[in-house]
């Protein structure tokens, strides 16, 4: 598979953020502020640093809190479009409704996870594996993953994900956990989604797990932990992480973009002010 051009980032940002409901009752979860910026803004800066400037945000709950702040993206030097669906829809159904707006090749991400994504290295691994889809997998050797000490991803010797389970397990059969970054070909989406997608369809543990069972999902493995805003405890950790970055020159902050993930010491992500 030849290296493909990729310019679009699709961000899932529709749910209510129930574990942060005191903060998300009237705003979208992606708009919760971390280090004085909405988390979505941090993500846009991350992807922009990788040369990705076209965004499709799949909205639901409190859509206006996103659209009023981000708008067309012009003030951030990017282009943003939106697809709205009812907040009650699961992310799989929300994603399915956006198929007509997807590029032939795109990055898929969630609105609540941050990790030093490197597009160049991901593309190299994607082409090496010769697959139509790829997941970034945290190896969780230090048991400090965003979903806790247990794992739900099994990777074979070829670098393909064979199992992506909906339950985390301490079983050493599992090698890591998903941290929310995916590279996807539109064709693998259209050929493998069900003809009728129910409102409760789970993108991760119905669609992506199905790709894994079919040998269509590759793994980009990393030992660098992510941070997230999934709940109050992790929100505090994310605040500490981003606050520590504000005193670092931007050129230094994004130095990791020129390295492979495994070349970055774990302490870089865990640094505190």
Q: For residue range 75-113, list pLDDT tens digits in order.
A: 999 999 999 999 999 999 999 999 999 999 999 999 999
**In this structure, is residue 1 part of a structural domain?**
no
Q: What is the CATH number of the domain that holds 243?
A: 3.90.550.10
Residue 3 included in any domain: no
In a domain, 116, yes or no: yes
> Model confidence at 259, in pLDDT bands (50, 70, 90)?
very low
Q: What is the mean pLDDT of the chain?
A: 90
Which domain does 241 fall in, by range? 8-260+265-269
Answer yes or no: is 68 within a domain.
yes
Phi-psi domain of 50 (left: phi exceeds 0; alpha: psi -120 through 50; beta: other)? alpha
Angle in degrees, CA 104, 105, 107, rounded to 5: 140
Indicate the DSSP class of residue 207. Answer: I
What is the rounded (10 degree) CA torsion for 85, 88, 93, 97?
Answer: -10
Torsion angle of the four alpha carbons 157, 207, 47, 7, in this order, in degrees rounded to the nearest 10: 100
Stated as kind and residue range, the H or E segment containing 82 is strand 79-84
Which pLDDT does position 16 carry in this prediction?
A: 85
Whether residue 239 lies inside any domain: the answer is yes
Residue 2 lies in a domain: no
What distance in Å separates the CA atoms of residue 114 and residue 112, rounded to the nearest whole number? 7
Tell me: pLDDT of 268 over 50.
Answer: no
- Name all contacts of 165-169 with Cβ < 8 Å and 24+ positions apart: 165/205, 165/209, 166/202, 166/204, 166/205, 166/209
Residue 150 resides in a domain: yes
How many domains would you assign to the chain? 1
Cα distance from N-terminal residue to C-terminal residue, the chain: 44
Is residue 79 included in any domain, yes or no?
A: yes
Kindly state the average pLDDT of the residues 249-264. Answer: 41
pLDDT tens for 16-74 read 889 999 999 999 999 999 999 999 999 999 999 999 999 999 999 999 999 999 999 99
């Amino acid at each position: 598979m030849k290296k493909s051009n990729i310019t679009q980032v699709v961000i899932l940002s529709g749910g209510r953020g129930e574990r942060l409901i005191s903060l998300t009752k009237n705003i979208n979860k992606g708009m919760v502020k971390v280090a004085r910026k909405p988390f979505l803004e941090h993500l846009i800066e991350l992807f922009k640093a990788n040369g990705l400037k076209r965004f499709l945000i799949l909205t639901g709950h409190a859509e206006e809190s996103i659209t009023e702040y981000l708008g067309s993206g012009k003030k951030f030097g990017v282009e943003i479009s939106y697809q709205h669906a009812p907040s009650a829809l699961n992310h799989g159904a929300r994603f399915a409704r956006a198929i007509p707006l997807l590029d032939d090749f795109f990055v898929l991400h969630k609105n609540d996870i941050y990790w030093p994504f490197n597009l160049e290295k991901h593309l190299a691994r994607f082409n090496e594996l010769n697959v139509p889809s790829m997941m970034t997998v945290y190896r969780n050797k230090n048991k400090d993953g965003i979903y806790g000490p247990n794992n739900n991803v099994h990777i074979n010797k070829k670098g393909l994900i064979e199992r992506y389970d909906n339950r985390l397990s301490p079983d050493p059969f599992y090698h890591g956990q998903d941290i929310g970054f995916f590279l996807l070909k539109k064709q693998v989406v259209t050929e493998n989604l069900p003809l009728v997608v129910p409102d409760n369809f789970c993108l991760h543990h119905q669609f992506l797990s199905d790709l894994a069972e079919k040998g269509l999902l590759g793994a980009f493995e990393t030992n660098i932990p992510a941070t997230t805003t999934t709940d109050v405890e992790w929100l505090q950790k994310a605040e500490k992480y981003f606050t520590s970055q504000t005193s670092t020159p931007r050129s230094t902050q994004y130095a990791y973009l020129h390295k492979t993930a495994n070349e970055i010491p774990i302490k870089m992500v865990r640094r505190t002010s």
